[in-house]
A = this chain, B = another copy of it.
Amino acid sequence: MVLPIDLLEVSLNRDISLLLKDGRILNGKLIGYDQYMNLVLDDAREEKEGGEKRLGRVVVRGSNVVSIAIV
């Protein structure tokens, strides 16, 4: 049994890919989270048609996250 929060813990400092409710995809290195699944990404990039938009360090609200893939 892998608790969701445990998977986040072992994914610290690894690359993850987030699918957000509005369909956006954010990629970056997971460097933090809290019990609401608010996430902190380092070197975050938003996937865009024909490229990506660099966002730097970002907080992503857990309530807007659909899924978190460990890359």
Which residues of A does B touch, CB under 8 Å?
1-8, 12, 17, 20-24, 26, 31-34, 37-40, 44, 55-71
Contact = CB atoms under 8 A, between A and B. Distances in A.
B20 A22 contact: no
A69 B40 contact: no
Contacts of A66: 20-22, 24, 60-61, 64
A15 B54 CA distance: 16
B56 A44 contact: no
Contact of A4 (B5, B32, B67): B32
Given A31-B2, A64-B66, A40 B71 contact: no
6 contacts: A4-B33, A6-B32, A22-B23, A44-B67, A56-B69, A57-B70
